[in-house]
Amino acid sequence: MKRIGFMLKVREDRMAEYKEHHKAVWPEMQEALRATGWHNYSLFMRDDGLLFGYFETPESLQAAQAGMENQEVNARWQSFMSPFFEIPEGAHADQMFIELEQVFYLE
């Protein structure tokens, strides 16, 4: 199992709304994530909107993203959520992840 850490930046003026939407992630989106190998997925946000994400997947970030690209619900979710991020207009946040290198792990 590969552990993935990534970062994104949520717009400060949209942070509260972003958090609200993540209290009720669409069930079909959750199922698509599970079906494409996203496990133990967590998001953490700093006060300035810096977002740290963590999940475990069988292969790699790229393989996990490729699996989600084929999910219709993912296209809807990404279009819905992209205005919340500091990313280029029209971009989807799931393609803008800054993957972090794992430098330590304690089981």
What span, in angstroms and rounded, lies between the C-alpha atoms of 21 and 74? 15
39 is known as an active-site residue: no
Q: Side by side, which strands form the sheet with 50-57?
A: 39-45, 50-57, 2-9, 98-100
Question: Choosing from 21, 22, 39, 92, which is the catalytic residue?
Answer: 22
Q: Assess contact for 94 and 51: CB atoms under 8 A.
A: no
Active centre residues (catalytic):
22
